[in-house]
Structure 1
Amino acid sequence: MRHRLTAIAGLSCVLLSACTEGQIGHSDAVRAGQRIYAKECAACHGAHGEGAGSAALALGTIPPDLTGLKQRNDGYFPREFVRRFIMGRLEKDDPASPMPDFSTVGLRHVYPDGGADGEVLETDFANLLDYLEAIQE
Structure 2
Amino acid sequence: MRRLGSNLGAALGLSLAATTLLAADAEEGAALYLEHCAACHGLEVDGNGPMAGVMTIKPADLTTLVSGNEGVFPYERVVKRIDGRDPLVAHGSPMPVYGHFFEGGAGALKTQNGQPILTSRAIVDLVRYLETVQQ
Question: What TM bracket, shorter-length normalisation?
Answer: 0.5 to 0.7
Please say if 1:101 is aligned against 2:85. Answer: no
- The question of whether the paired residues in 2 share the 8 Å contact of 1:40 and 1:107 is answered with no
Alpha-carbon distance, 1:28 to partner: 7.3
Q: Secondary structure at the match of 2:57?
A: coil
On the 8 A contact 1:44/1:52 being kept in 2, the answer is: yes
The alpha carbon displacement at 1:99 in A equals 6.7
> Whole-Å Cα distance in 2 between the matches of residues 87 and 123 of structure 1?
11
Aligned mates of 1:49, 1:76 — CA distance in 2: 18
1:1-137 map, 5 Å? 29-90=25-86, 92=88, 95=89, 97-98=90-91, 100-102=93-95, 105-108=98-101, 119=103, 121=105, 122-137=120-135
For structure 2, the residue ranges without an aligned partner over 5 or more in a row are 1-22, 106-119
Q: 1:53 and 1:68 mapped to 2: Cα distance?
A: 16
**TM-score (normalizing by structure 2):** 0.64
Identity of aligned residues (%): 32
- Secondary structure of 2:47's counterpart equals coil
Cα RMSD, aligned residues only = 2.5
Q: Report Cα offsets for 1:77-132 as digits up to 9, x if no partner.
A: 0011100111111254xx3x127514873355xxxxxxxxx735422111000001
Q: Is the 8 A contact 1:105 1:119 kept in 2?
A: no
- Do the aligned partners of residues 119 and 103 (structure 1) sit closer, same or farther apart at CA in structure 2, a change above 3 Å counting? farther
Q: Alpha-carbon deviation of 1:41?
A: 0.4
Instruction: Work out whether residues 50 and 67 of structure 1, in 8 Å CA contact, stay in contact via their aligned partners in 2.
Output: yes
Residue aligned with 1:52, SS: coil
TM-score of the two chains, using structure 1 as the length reference: 0.63
Question: Gaps spanning 5+ residues in structure 1: where?
Answer: 1-26, 109-117
Question: Which has the larger share of strand?
Answer: 2
